[in-house]
Every structure is written in structure tokens, then in C-alpha cells.
Amino acid sequence: MSIATNVEIKAEISDLHKLRELAESITDVPCEAIKQHDIFFNAPRGRLKLRVLNPGFGQLVYYERQDCSAPRPSNYIVSVTTEPDSLERVLAAALGVRGVVDKERYLYKVGNTRIHLDKVKGLGDYLELEVVLTPGQTVQEGKEIALLLIRRLGINEADLIDVAYIDLLKRQ
């Protein structure tokens, strides 16, 4: 299992419907609607979450990313599980649960970029871009793609956020 890198940027949005229309106008494939239940665990560094997509399928995701509102690289490792409930019990016992994020995600793809339009329970509506770097592609190129897409989608710099959803929930 190798470490992958993407460039991420996240923003709070006020008009989910309008952004869905804009994303659909530039996407390469049809939108995919996904319900996600993310359980975050206490980790000595980075962030560790179990993403439960249904009772028989989940993804354990470890990632390290700087907290800032500009496009930033995120290094991550993903492991798939068919027993998310069992894995959750083990991780909760070993590390403790930091918190839970529930969201409805609308996923669009433009080239090697994933556009997420998220309805986050307890927070509101957000946009998250993940430019998945291809072999040989630099972080700077990923940042340029993210900034171009943010402009195309009409996102203002003032709407950018610097932390993960779990951190926003913990601030409340």
C-alpha cells in the first residue's frame, strides 16, 4: 500500500443548487450521490477516519494535511474493509473516538479532480476539491488546477476554510 497525494481546498457555500448546476456543466461523468458516515479516531499525528458507506463496506483513511485555507497537499493511505462495524469497535477500543461526521456528498469528476458538494449534518453546505496528482504531476500544478476550478465555480476567497469538518464540528 503506497501513500498517495492530492491537493485539496475547501469552502463554505451558500447555494448548493447553483453549484450543483455549475459542476454538472463541467463534469466528465454523471454525478454520484453518496451518504457517508465518518468516524474519526484519536491519532498521535494526522487524522484517522473510518468511512462507512454501507454495513458491508468501508474505508479506513489516514491522512496528513496542513490546516490552511489555500490549496494544500494531502498525503493519504486508504484501506478497504468489508467489516466496518468490527473495525470501528477495535479502533474505538484502541484509540478512542474523536467524533463523527455525517454527510450527503455529490461527487463530480473533472479530469483528475474530484468535486465534492457536501451537506454536512450540523454544519451546512460545503465544496471540497481534491486534485488527485498523477505520476509526475507536481503539487504546484495541482494547486493551479484547484485555483482555476474554484474560480470557474465562483467561490470567493473569503469562503475558504482551513480545517476538516470534524474540526469545525468540535469548534461548535
pLDDT in tens, 31-48: 999 999 999 999 999 999
Q: Where are the beta strands (DSSP E) in 28-149?
A: 32-41, 47-54, 57-65, 72-81, 97-110, 113-120, 124-132
* Residues spanned by the domain of 132: 4-171
Query: How many other C-beta atoms lie within 10 A of the C-beta of residue 155?
Result: 21
pLDDT per residue as tens digits for the range 133-165: 999 999 999 999 999 999 999 999 899 999 999
Q: For residues 101 and 122, is the Cβ–Cβ distance under 8 A?
A: no
pLDDT tens track for 44-88? 999 999 999 999 999 999 999 999 999 999 999 999 999 999 999
Q: What is the pLDDT of residue 2?
A: 77
Q: Are 115 and 27 in contact (CB under 8 A)?
A: yes
Mean pLDDT score, 106-127: 97
The pLDDT value given to residue 1 = 66
Question: Cβ neighbours of residue 145 under 8 Å, at least 6 residues apart?
Answer: 7, 111, 112, 113, 131
Structural domain total, the chain:
1
CATH of the domain at 117: 2.40.320.10
CA–CA distances in Å: residue 151 to residues 38, 89, 93, 134, 157: 29, 42, 44, 22, 9
